Amino acid sequence: MHKKKIFTGIILFITGAIVSALITGATFYYIYTKKLNTYKTTTTDNTLGNYMKAAYNWLENSGEAESLEYQAYNAATASLSKMVQEPSSKPKAVILDLDETCLSTAPFQGYEILNDNDGFQYSIWDKWVNEKKDTAIPGSVEFTQQAAKDGVQVFYVSGRSQNELKPTVEEMTKLGFAQANEPGHVILLPSGQNSKQPTFDEIEKKYDVVMFVGDQLSDMGSMFHGNSAEEKQQVTEYKNDWGSKFIAIPNPIYGNYIGALDDDKKLTNSQQVEVFNKGIETFNPTTGKVYHNKA
């Protein structure tokens, strides 16, 4: 009888230990799996954010970016001083983009990045524009003032909504952009018009447009279009015009270049990450070959 009780006790102890081990193992597995999935989700979701944070900090906080902005507008000023000496049957004009060309919208871009928004937030953007808290891109105000002093008409063509014209003009005038408060000099594209080319064509009917300034190739005209390989080829075709007729302002945060990497102008955050990875050219130290990443 005594031995039977001992045996039963041993069985119960072993059974309890096994059940306890199973419960502990299951709990550990659940917690580990949950943490692992959370880690994977977090790193995947934040990958684009990390790209954008790096791009933002380079553009807004590096001396290199600011030096390129000054360099671009110095080149524009020097080229324009020569262009005004050349004869023309029409008054000379220059056309500039607004956002990230004349106006820095950095705090709005920061909001988009930190809040991990998948897509442009029009309601927040509208609030930003009406707050009129943009700052001038280094060198931009001085360039427009010099252009006006040289007798050149200055036009600003932007994809901003037409209902944003009033706060945009008020802000630009306050910042000192030449001719911004003159009727017809700040032109915002009408609803449904995606290309700036029709607006350029209208300006060129009356003026000899000698220079385009922008942070996107589309700011220079419809001759630049297509995927990234095609656009690079088009840029090469006009290589002698960069720094004179075409002035590019650096902007790695957003733009057509992202969609052009994959023949698609509208990409989700996860698709952008995939496209960024595919666009990387890398070196294989084992084979000594250079190739494009396909991961």
Alpha helices in the chain (DSSP H): 2-61, 63-83, 106-114, 122-131, 140-149, 165-175, 197-206, 228-237, 256-260, 269-278
Least-confidence region, from 180-189, 213-222, 274-283: 274-283
Burial class (CB in 10 A: 0-12, 13-18, 19+), 184: exposed
Model confidence over 111-169: pLDDT tens digits?
A: 988 886 666 788 999 999 999 999 999 999 999 999 999 999 999 999 999 999 999 99
Model confidence over 195-225: pLDDT tens digits?
A: 999 999 999 999 999 999 999 999 999 999 8
Q: Which residues contact 140 (CB under 8 A, 6 or more apart)?
A: 69, 73, 96, 101, 102, 177
Report field, pTM of the whole predicted structure over 0.85: no
